[in-house]
Structure 1
Amino acid sequence: MSYNSYGAKIRGTTSKFFEKYGLAFVMVASYFGSGSVFIASQAGVQFGYLLVWAVVGAVFIGFIGQDMSARLGIFGVPLMTFARRKLGTGGATVLAAILSVGCVAWALELTAAVGTGISILLGGVVGWQPLAVLSGALAIVVGIQNYDGVERIMTAMMIALLAIYVTVAGVSSPSLSSIAAGFVPSLPGGSLTLAAAIIGTTALWPNFFLESNLVEEKGWTSAADLPSVRRDLGIGYLVGGATTVAIIVVAAAILRPAGYTSLETFITPGRALAEVLGDWAMVMFLLGTVAAAFNSIVPIMWTPAYLFQHARGRTADPGSREFKLIYAVGVAIGSLSPLVNEFAGLSVIDMIILFPAYNGIVSLPIAAVLLFWAVNDRETMGEHKNSLRMALVNASLVLLSIYLAATSLPGFVETVTSGGF
């Protein structure tokens, strides 16, 4: 087989894959930003393998939530359109504003992470603050591009991150028995905020809104498409969950025995890679973290545009001027992370860990309750309304998110008011 024909075969296979799958990689890559890398690393450094179970639980919650959202998009209406029907335009708009605060919080930590990573790569010649603002401006440009390009970029990024961390985890001589024990739920002292952060950054509530909108992009419009939806979600979350567990394993197997008890600097997690692969791995870590953080900004900040458009009864067209304006304004506000650092006294690491935790405590329960209400509403779903068995399974998302929020809130407040970690 010639080089050209071999290349054509690869391109053909890739195109067929993206015709049928790929949406879940956008959803998973949207949560797998700098937050996932640092939160998982912090969990491994502080608690060894004991919070591996939280990753499994987060993947389960994320899968259930997005399965509900996909079914809502196929058989009913987008989630915020449902909210407007039930709460009225005013109530839905207020809800959209409350939820958008969480998206902006994510954008703040993501722009801070991108700025810090680039600053380190440049040898500190330029501070992270102006680079954070610049990263927001670039995200505005990228975010108004076509969906297909974003999907392919995020899929490639997730596969590359999985390969990197699984390789390092495999050669770091982890304790297999300790990893296995980590799958048994436990909450060692002081771990609630991190558990909330893991779930908040993995079971990403913006995806519950995006999935119900973007199923149309994949041509998923009937019950016959549900197996494809679930295979897509299964593949995406398997990659995302395995990567997160691998990061915990790397931190627990390399950083923790070396005496690290916290992420002292932005580049501390990269030391695990450098220990195994050499100093060049630090550069690879920084590039991967910057790419992961930057790519997360786009889909997360698409969410407010969908929320406000649907809350006001408008058609949410990503190509429309109004949609792009809402997206651009949201990202611009999210670029003000230097002000959070200056006036709130939170470091970049604090923002990266705490803001996903905020979303797990505040925004996730709201989105979960709304989603559960929608898929159990006969007026919206018709004959595809949840069965009793499915309703019980889906209720686990709501109950777990509420329990996590209630138990994690005190620790979160204490951490924020005491100036961070």
Structure 2
Amino acid sequence: MSGTTSSYRERLRDTASGFFQQYGLAFVMVASYFGSGSIFIASSAGVRFGYALLWAVVGAALLGFMAQDMSARLGIFGEPLMVFIRRKVGGRLATALALVLSSGCLLWAFELTAAVGKGLSLLLGGAIGWMPLAFLAGLAAVGVGVLNYEGIEQLMTAMMIGLLVVYLAVTGTTAPPLSTVVGGFVPSVPNVGALTLVASILGTTALWPNFFLESNLVDEKGWTGISDITPMRRDLSIGYAVGGVTTIAILVLAAAVLRPAGYTELETFLTPGLALGEVLGEWARTVFLVGAVAAAFNSIIPIMWTPSYLIQHARGKETDSSNRSFKLIYGVLVTISGLSPLITMFFGLGIIDMILLFPAYNAIVGLPITAVFLFWAVNDSDIMGEHRNSRLLSVVNAALVLLAIVSAATSLPGVVDALVSGGL
């Protein structure tokens, strides 16, 4: 019996080892975007418009796939995105851009540590306030984020699959009407207000830090040539399928349970968990909140890897996730992100303000800058050679640039007004 168990474990280990030799990078990318903001947006879409915006989740996953495909091809056939930017605009401007973009990552991490702290506080019944827990979340993220890349990739993969199982398990108890759910995958816009949520779903999935990360991390997978394009795209397909189905499960859950219960607006990304406790029972509340906390924590690590690559490459330095300087930059910035309570104390912004405004800032500043440079890079014959974009790919990829610019222009007035007035 023990011999059979040992043989089973060896086969399982060999299968996992074979999987991670070829796949897993996409799960890091998906973990990056699937945080508190994604949960809030998907839940809001379900509460406000039922199943009508399911098609937008599918479109967002395809858009994310497209952006990551560009970034991966740049890393395989050319060079990391910030290396390209330095080559084109010079060291001083590249460094300035790196600092501006890194500030956006830090803002993201502020809202994520705050979200983790709030979620843990609720799970503990309020025995500990969210502020000290947010700082501890930052310290925990430092400890996890300086591990070797292979360990992080395996952890992110396990966490994303775990989140998929968690939200499918809760959604599976609701038995939503199949015909109505299927109808949600047919593109439609219930009213003008739905367009904002559609843009939010698309914007949170095409996360600009991932454009930099994928172009760097293809080296970690050993993807260096034309033969690696197929496994790279298969990896992206698996990762974005998991992320997309998880998002769909949350939207369906909100539409099937919260909307009929009379919810029309959500106060925070944790509100669905509290509401589910009232409708389905305490187990649903706990499962949802644990998943939300895990998702927010997951996002901190890959997002905050990005400044380490940006700053070092802008300065003309070689770097990777095992480099001491890389870990130092990461550790300092993530420790600072644990000070998110100071944002509330000194600027009057609540957790929900941070969750909505800080990603919006990144959509206005980081996404357009990054999308333009990424599009430029994959079409640059000096860098990509014969592997630069075809005309068809250029037309398709231009949609990402257009979305980024339109999203920034339409979001700017509201974000500025909220920041000036001290919150939403």
Q: Same fold (TM over 0.5)?
A: yes
8 A contact 2:40–2:268 mirrored in 1:
no
Aligned residue among 215, 218, 224 for 1:215? 218
Tell me if the contact between 2:166 and 2:288 (Cα under 8 Å) persists in the aligned partners. Answer: no
Residue deviations 1:225-245 (CA, integer Å, cap 9, x gap): 100000000110011011111
Aligned residue for 1:354?
Answer: 357
Structure 1 residues 176 and 344, CA, compared in 2 at 3 Å: closer, same or farther? Answer: farther
Structure 1 counterpart of 2:7: 5
Q: Does 1:118 align with 2:117?
A: no
The farther-off stretch of 394-403 and 300-309 is: 394-403
Counterpart among 65, 68, 71 of residue 67 in structure 2: 65
Alignment of 1:4-43 (within 5 A): 4-43=6-45
Judged with a 3 Å threshold, the aligned counterparts in structure 2 of structure 1 residues 296 and 245 are, in CA distance, closer, same or farther, namely same
Matched, 1:410 2:416: no
Counterpart residue number, 1:49: 51
Q: Distance in 1 between matches of 2:203 and 2:79?
A: 25
Relative distance call for 1:83 and 1:133 in structure 2 (3 A) is same
Provide the rounded CA distance (Å) in 1 between the counterparts of 2:389 and 2:328: 36
Instruction: Describe the shift of the 1:230–1:171 C-alpha distance in structure 2 as closer, same or farther (beyond 3 A).
Output: same
The answer to whether the Cα contact below 8 Å between 2:167 and 2:249 also exists between their aligned partners in 1 is yes
1:335 alignment counterpart: 338
Paired AA for residue 136 in structure 1: G
**1:295/1:159 CA distance change after superposition, 3 Å:** same
Partner of 1:371: 374
Contact 1:354–1:412 (CA under 8 A) maintained in structure 2:
yes
2:193 matched to 1:190? Answer: yes
Paired AA for residue 139 in structure 1: A
Which whole-Å CA distance do the structure 2 matches of 1:171 and 1:48 have between them? 17
Distance (whole Å) between structure 2 residues aligned to residue 358 and residue 177 of structure 1: 38
Distance 1:404 1:6 in 2: 51
Deviations 1:67-110 (A, max 9, x none): 01111101100000000000000111111112112211110111
State the distance in 1 between where 2:56 and 2:136 align: 34
In structure 1, the residue corresponding to 2:175 is in which secondary structure? Answer: coil
* Residue 392 of structure 2: aligned partner: 389
Does the alignment pair 1:314 with 2:317? yes
| Among 57, 64, 80, the residue aligned to 1:78 | 80
Q: Is the 1:20–1:228 contact (alpha carbons within 8 Å) kept by the matching residues of 2? A: yes
- Report the Cα distance in structure 2 between the residues aligned to 1:321 and 1:197, rounded to whole angstroms: 36
Contact 1:96 1:307 (C-alpha < 8 Å) held by counterparts: yes
What is the distance in 2 between the residues matched to 1:365 and 1:42? 25
Change (3 A) 1:343 1:354: same
Per the TM alignment, residue 278 of structure 1 is displaced from its structure 2 partner at its CA by 2.9
Code of the residue aligned with 2:262 in structure 1: it is G
Provide the C-alpha distance between the structure 2 equivalents of 1:43 and 1:194, rounded to a whole number of angstroms.
Answer: 7
**Paired letter, 1:182:** G
Deviations along 1:192-217, whole A, 9 cap, x unmatched?
A: 54334322321111111010111111
Query: Aligned residue for 2:227?
Result: 224
State the SS of the aligned residue for 1:190: helix
Q: How many angstroms does 1:405 deviate by?
A: 2.2
**Is it true that 1:201 corresponds to 2:210 in the alignment?**
no
Moved more, 395-404 or 293-302: 395-404
Matches for 1:79-228 after TM superposition, within 5 Å: 79-183=81-185, 184-186=187-189, 188-228=191-231
Tell me which of 285, 294, 298 is aligned to 1:295.
298
C-alpha separation in 2, matches of 1:325 and 1:223: 34
User: Aligned partners of 1:309 and 1:226: how far apart in 2?
Assistant: 27
Q: TM-score, normalised by structure 1?
A: 0.94
Deviation at 1:187, TM superposition (A): 6.6
Q: Secondary structure at the match of 1:126?
A: coil
- 1:241 has 2:244 as partner: yes
Distance change in 2, residues 1:191/1:108 (3 Å): farther
Whole-Å separation in 1 of the counterparts to 2:237 and 2:142: 30
Farther off after superposition, 147-156 or 331-340: 331-340
Q: What letter corresponds to residue 350 of structure 2 in structure 1?
A: S
Cα distance in 2 between the residues matched to 1:226 and 1:291? 31
Contact map agreement 1:193 1:411 (CA 8 A) in 2: no
Please tell me the root mean square deviation across aligned C-alpha atoms, in Å: 2.0
TM-score, normalised on structure 2? 0.93
Are residues 90 and 347 of structure 1, via their aligned partners in 2, closer, same or farther at CA, if it must alter by over 3 Å?
same
Farther off after superposition, 356-365 or 377-386 = 356-365
Query: Identity percentage over the alignment?
Result: 65
Deviations, residues 133-178 of structure 1 (Å, cap 9, x unaligned): 1211221121111111111111111112112222333432334444
Structure 2, unmatched stretches of 5+, are none
Separation of aligned partners in 1, 2:371 and 2:183: 29
Q: What is the distance in 1 between the residues matched to 2:342 and 2:149? A: 31
Structure 1 residues 390 and 314: alpha-carbon distance in aligned structure 2, compared to 1, 3 A threshold: same
Matched-pair contact (CA < 8 Å) for 1:172–1:276 = no
Residues 119, 332 of structure 1: alpha-carbon distance in 2 compared, 3 angstrom cutoff: same
8 A Cα contact 2:120 2:133, kept in partner: yes
Q: Distance in 1 between matches of 2:27 and 2:318?
A: 25
